[in-house]
Structure 1
Amino acid sequence: MASSSSSIANASSYDVFLSFRGEDTRHSFTDHLYKTLRGAGIGTFRDNEEIRRGEEVKPETETAIKESKASIVVLSENYATSTWCLDELVLILEQRKEGNHFVLPVFYHVDPSDVRKQNKSFTIEVKGSSRWTDHNVNTWKKALTEVANLAGMVLSGSETIFLKEIVDTIYNKLDRKEVHLPPNLIGMATRYEEINSWLNQSDVEFLAICGMGGNGKTTLAKYIYDSNWRYFENTSFVENIGRRCKESHDLLELQEQLLNDILGGKKRKIPSVSQGTCKIEEALRTKRTLIVLDDIAEQSQLVDLLGTGAINAQSKIIITTIRENTKNWFKSTYSRCQEYKIKLLNEDESLELLSRHAFGSKVPMEGFEELAIQAIQYCEGNPLAVEVLASSLSNENTILYWKSRLNFLDKDFDSRIQSVLKTSYESLPSILEKELFLHIACFFIGKDKDYVVKILELDYCALSGIKTLSNKCLLSVSPNNKLMMHRLIQEMGKSLVHQESPKFPARRSRVWLSSDSYKIFHKGEGSETMEGLALDMQLLKEDKVAFKLVTFTQPSSFTKHANMFE
Structure 2
Amino acid sequence: MKRKRNSSPDPAGGDDGELPGVKFEVFLSFRGWDTRLSFTDCLYHAMVGAGVRVFRDEEEICKGEEIGGELLRAIDNSKVYVIVFSRDYASSDWCLRELEHIVKRYRGSSGKVILPIFYNVGAHDVKLQTGLYDEALKKHEGRRGCDVVRPWKEALIEVARMDGWDLKDKGEGAVIKHIVDEVLTRLKKRQRNLPDHLVGIHDQLEDMKSLLQEGSPDVRFIVIHGMGGIGKTTLAEAVFNQISHQFSGHSFLPNVRESSQDDKIKELQWRLLSDILKFQPARIYDTNDGVNMIKERFRHKKVLIVLDNVDDRNQLMKLAGKHNWFGPGSRIIITTRDIQFLSINNGRPRDSDCIQHEEFYIYKMKEMPFHHALELFSEHAFRRDTPPTDYANIATKIVKTMGGLPLALKVIGSSLCYKNEAVSEDMKMPHREVHDILMMSYEMLEDEQKQIFLDIACHMAGEKIEDAVLMWKSCEFFPNLTIDVLINMSLIRVECHEELWMHDQLRDFGREIVCRESQFPGECSRLWCPKSAMEVIRRKRGTEAIVALKLDGHSKSHNFTPVEFSKLEYLRFLELDGGNFVGDFLGLFYELRWLSWHHCPSEFRATNFCPSKLVVLKISKSDLTNDWDGWSQIMGTSKLKVLSLVSCKSLIKMPDLSMCSTLERLVIKDCKRLVEIDPSISNQEQLKYLEISGCNRLENLSKEASTDVSPCVVPQFLPDLMGR
Question: TM-score, structure 2 length as denominator?
Answer: 0.64
Tell me how far apart the structure 2 counterparts of residues 561 and 248 of structure 1 sit (CA, whole Å): 53
Asked whether 1:177 is paired with 2:190, we answer yes
2:393 equivalent in structure 1: 370
Aligned residue runs from structure 1 range 248-327, under 5 A = 248-310=262-324, 311-324=326-339
1:494 equivalent in structure 2: 511
Asked whether 1:129 is paired with 2:140, we answer yes
Moved more, 227-236 or 526-535: 526-535
Asked whether 1:210 is paired with 2:225, we answer yes
Asked whether 1:506 is paired with 2:522, we answer yes
Tell me how far apart the structure 1 counterparts of residues 390 and 48 of structure 2 sit (CA, whole Å): 57
Of 492, 497, 502, the residue aligned with 1:475 is: 492
Q: Secondary structure at the match of 1:464?
A: helix
Contact 2:429 2:508 in 1 (8 A): no
Tell me how far apart the structure 1 counterparts of residues 335 and 273 of structure 2 sit (CA, whole Å): 19
Aligned residue runs from structure 1 range 345-356, under 5 A = 345-356=368-379
Question: TM-score, structure 1 length as denominator?
Answer: 0.80
Contact 2:59 2:94 in 1 (8 A): no
1:438 equivalent in structure 2: 454
1:485 equivalent in structure 2: 502
Moved more, 135-144 or 380-389: 135-144
1:395 equivalent in structure 2: 418
Deviation at 1:147, TM superposition (A): 5.3
Deviation at 1:250, TM superposition (A): 1.8
Aligned residue runs from structure 1 range 448-459, under 5 A = 448-458=464-474, 459=476
Aligned residue runs from structure 1 range 8-407, under 5 A = 12-27=22-37, 30-31=40-41, 34=44, 37-38=47-48, 41-53=51-63, 61=71, 63-65=73-75, 67-74=77-84, 76=86, 78-85=88-95, 95=106, 99=111, 101=113, 103=115, 105=117, 107=119, 110=120, 124-125=134-135, 126-130=137-141, 136-137=152-153, 139-140=155-156, 143-144=159-160, 146=162, 148-149=164-165, 154-155=170-171, 176-201=189-214, 202=216, 203=218, 205-242=220-257, 244-310=258-324, 311-324=326-339, 328=343, 332=355, 336-395=359-418, 401=421, 405-407=422-424
Tell me how far apart the structure 2 counterparts of residues 511 and 16 of structure 1 sit (CA, whole Å): 64
Tell me how far apart the structure 1 counterparts of residues 168 and 321 of structure 2 sit (CA, whole Å): 29
Tell me how far apart the structure 2 counterparts of residues 197 and 262 of structure 1 sit (CA, whole Å): 25
Contact 1:506 1:527 in 2 (8 A): yes
Q: Secondary structure at the match of 1:370?
A: helix
Deviation at 1:435, TM superposition (A): 2.0
Tell me how far apart the structure 2 counterparts of residues 55 and 328 of structure 1 sit (CA, whole Å): 68
Rg larger in 1 or in 2?
Answer: 2
Tell me how far apart the structure 2 counterparts of residues 24 and 118 of structure 1 sit (CA, whole Å): 19
Tell me how far apart the structure 1 counterparts of residues 190 and 169 of structure 2 sit (CA, whole Å): 20
Contact 1:529 1:554 in 2 (8 A): no
After superposition, what is the alpha-carbon deviation per residue over 1:371-418, rounded to whole angstroms, capped at 9, x for unaligned?
111111101121222222222222256xxx4xxx44324654421111
Q: 1:127 is aligned with what amino acid? A: K
Tell me how far apart the structure 1 counterparts of residues 212 and 102 of structure 2 sit (CA, whole Å): 24
Q: Secondary structure at the match of 1:424?
A: helix
Moved more, 132-141 or 359-368: 132-141
Deviation at 1:466, TM superposition (A): 0.8
Tell me how far apart the structure 2 counterparts of residues 221 and 492 of structure 1 sit (CA, whole Å): 26
Question: Relative to 1, partners in 2 of residues 1:491 and 1:36: Cα closer, same or farther, differing over 3 Å?
Answer: closer
Tell me how far apart the structure 2 counterparts of residues 118 and 41 of structure 1 sit (CA, whole Å): 36
Contact 1:205 1:313 in 2 (8 A): no
Contact 1:116 1:149 in 2 (8 A): no
Structure 1 spans left out of the alignment, 5+ residues? 1-8
Q: 1:214 is aligned with what amino acid? A: G
Tell me how far apart the structure 1 counterparts of residues 271 and 161 of structure 2 sit (CA, whole Å): 36
Deviation at 1:308, TM superposition (A): 0.5
Asked whether 1:465 is paired with 2:482, we answer yes
Tell me how far apart the structure 2 counterparts of residues 102 and 560 of structure 1 sit (CA, whole Å): 82
Contact 2:248 2:303 in 1 (8 A): yes
Moved more, 140-149 or 211-220: 140-149
Q: 1:314 is aligned with what amino acid? A: G
Moved more, 445-454 or 285-294: 285-294
Question: Relative to 1, partners in 2 of residues 1:87 and 1:509: Cα closer, same or farther, differing over 3 Å?
Answer: farther
Tell me how far apart the structure 2 counterparts of residues 252 and 364 of structure 1 sit (CA, whole Å): 48
Tell me how far apart the structure 2 counterparts of residues 291 and 263 of structure 1 sit (CA, whole Å): 13
Q: Secondary structure at the match of 2:138?
A: coil
Question: Relative to 1, partners in 2 of residues 1:114 and 1:383: Cα closer, same or farther, differing over 3 Å?
Answer: closer
Query: Which structure is higher in RCO with an 8 Å CA cutoff and minimum separation 6?
Result: 1
Q: 1:213 is aligned with what amino acid? A: G
Q: Secondary structure at the match of 1:367?
A: helix
Contact 2:23 2:74 in 1 (8 A): no
Question: Relative to 1, partners in 2 of residues 1:151 and 1:103: Cα closer, same or farther, differing over 3 Å?
Answer: farther
Q: Secondary structure at the match of 1:127?
A: helix
1:424 equivalent in structure 2: 441
Contact 2:522 2:536 in 1 (8 A): yes
Q: Secondary structure at the match of 2:306?
A: strand
After superposition, what is the alpha-carbon deviation per residue over 1:343-391, rounded to whole angstroms, capped at 9, x for unaligned?
3222222222222222222222232221111111101121222222222
Tell me how far apart the structure 1 counterparts of residues 437 and 77 of structure 2 sit (CA, whole Å): 39
Question: Relative to 1, partners in 2 of residues 1:98 and 1:353: Cα closer, same or farther, differing over 3 Å?
Answer: closer
Structure with greater proportional helix content: 1
Contact 1:280 1:307 in 2 (8 A): no
Tell me how far apart the structure 2 counterparts of residues 68 and 79 of structure 1 sit (CA, whole Å): 21
Question: Relative to 1, partners in 2 of residues 1:153 and 1:519: Cα closer, same or farther, differing over 3 Å?
Answer: farther
Q: Secondary structure at the match of 1:13?
A: coil
Question: Relative to 1, partners in 2 of residues 1:354 and 1:168: Cα closer, same or farther, differing over 3 Å?
Answer: closer
Deviation at 1:522, TM superposition (A): 4.3
Tell me how far apart the structure 2 counterparts of residues 150 and 494 of structure 1 sit (CA, whole Å): 62
Q: Secondary structure at the match of 1:235?
A: strand
Tell me how far apart the structure 1 counterparts of residues 168 and 547 of structure 2 sit (CA, whole Å): 66
Contact 1:204 1:337 in 2 (8 A): no
Tell me how far apart the structure 2 counterparts of residues 236 and 153 of structure 1 sit (CA, whole Å): 30
Q: 2:303 is aligned with what amino acid? A: T
Deviation at 1:220, TM superposition (A): 2.0
Deviation at 1:455, TM superposition (A): 0.5
Q: 1:512 is aligned with what amino acid? A: W
Structure 2 spans left out of the alignment, 5+ residues? 1-18, 574-584, 596-608, 610-724
Tell me how far apart the structure 2 counterparts of residues 334 and 261 of structure 1 sit (CA, whole Å): 28
Question: Relative to 1, partners in 2 of residues 1:117 and 1:350: Cα closer, same or farther, differing over 3 Å?
Answer: closer
Tell me how far apart the structure 1 counterparts of residues 111 and 412 of structure 2 sit (CA, whole Å): 34
Moved more, 201-210 or 329-338: 329-338
Contact 1:380 1:486 in 2 (8 A): yes
Tell me how far apart the structure 2 counterparts of residues 150 and 328 of structure 1 sit (CA, whole Å): 45
